[in-house]
Amino acid sequence: MQTLQNDRYLRALLRQPVDVTPVWMMRQAGRYLPEYKATRAQAGDFMSLCKNAELACEVTLQPLRRFDLDAAILFSDILTIPDAMGLGLYFENGEGPRFERPLTSMSDIQKLGIPDPEVELAYVMNAVRTIRKNLQGSVPLIGFSGSPWTLATYMIEGGSSKAFTKIKKMAFSEPQALHLLLDKLADTVILYLNAQIAAGAQSVMVFDTWGGVLSPRDYRDFSLQYMHKIVDGLTRENDGRKVPVTLFTKNAGMWLEAIAATGCDAVGLDWTIDIADAKSRVGDKVALQGNMDPSMLYAPAARIEQEVQSILSGFGAGPGHVFNLGHGIHLDVPPENAKVFVDAVHRLSAPFHQQ
């Protein structure tokens, strides 16, 4: 087993004692960093960057050189899976991701194969292996995937959506077709994340960005049950160490108890729920990750530090908290504000961990 110089992120996810609260940021490798923009320009476009293991490694490591982060996260995209399934992913300028061949019928879904992560998604595994090697045991590496429901929204809508009318039409008029797709996606995500773990990811996270657009019953039927299936199918120990699993649904405050009951190790929180409330509801069942509003990083340093203190106080003393933003860092945030945030978490959290 490789010795980790800093394992407080993994320890916090397993609710073990730590010296300070660990912190990382969703989208920490990204467009707010000038060095990322330069590397992306070198790659030519976003997917070329994802598919080049050396460049994907470079952008994964960039935020670690600037900030005292407690974890690295694989540089990739949730839409690698639908792309590997043959839907033809491309990116429109200013429009975001698009698919050439969105799914419109049961027959489209029946034709979908489950990609082999070491064949169609080999470039992701190459990136994981390259990043893990270059981290040299400094901090853990997080692997990730989109949730089946979130992946399905893009695959059926053909890209981003505001009203999600196409996927909801299928959910309510052809539920058997949508359930077949979600089941295939759950099987694919299990293979994909287990391959990332085998390649060197030391923790994995499932991003359910669009689960919050569902009603409570439909969330359980179309999103949560498939994430539960994924949790049940994941490798939970590798290289002599437990591999913690975090589930994150945006706008999921009302379903915290149900998410915690899946058997995951941690629940990601967006900024629309008070962390004290979340902790009182799920208790010691899971660790919590979150949950500062990403827009707080536009504020002056003193206000950022005040917010960090407020969230730390809300969670209270003891282990089980990974500090993060409630969603990805915005692309126009000054990097120096991100540094204020990361440093404040470490400095201000020490009193909460004194034995």
- What positions carry a catalytic annotation? 27, 31, 40, 77, 154
270 is in an annotated binding site: no
209 is in an annotated binding site: yes
Whether 71 and 203 have beta carbons less than 8 Å apart is answered as yes
202 is in an annotated binding site: no
218 is in an annotated binding site: no
User: What's the burial of 354, exposed, middle or buried (CB within 10 Å: 0-12/13-18/19+)?
Assistant: exposed
Whether 345 and 306 have beta carbons less than 8 Å apart is answered as no
Residue 84 exposure: Cα atoms within 13 Å on the Cβ side: 24
21 is in an annotated binding site: no
Within 10 Å of residue 27's Cβ, how many Cβ atoms?
A: 17
Q: Quick one: DSSP state of residue 306?
A: H
Which phi and psi angles does 89 have, rounded to 5°?
A: -75, 135
Residue with tokens 């949790």: 231
Two tokens, residue 46: 């976003």
77 is in an annotated binding site: yes
Within 10 Å of residue 240's Cβ, how many Cβ atoms?
A: 7
Q: Are strands 237-238 and 241-242 parallel, antiparallel or unpaired?
A: antiparallel
Whether 331 and 30 have beta carbons less than 8 Å apart is answered as yes
CA-to-CA distance for 331 and 89, rounded, in angstroms? 22
User: What's the burial of 214, exposed, middle or buried (CB within 10 Å: 0-12/13-18/19+)?
Assistant: buried
200 is in an annotated binding site: no
298 is in an annotated binding site: no
154 is in an annotated binding site: yes
Alpha helices (H) along the chain: 8-13, 34-43, 46-51, 53-66, 80-84, 106-111, 122-135, 148-157, 165-173, 175-199, 216-219, 225-233, 256-260, 275-282, 301-315, 335-349
Q: Provide the annotated binding site.
A: 27-31, 77, 154, 209, 327
Q: Provide the annotated binding site for substrate.
A: 27-31, 77, 154, 209, 327
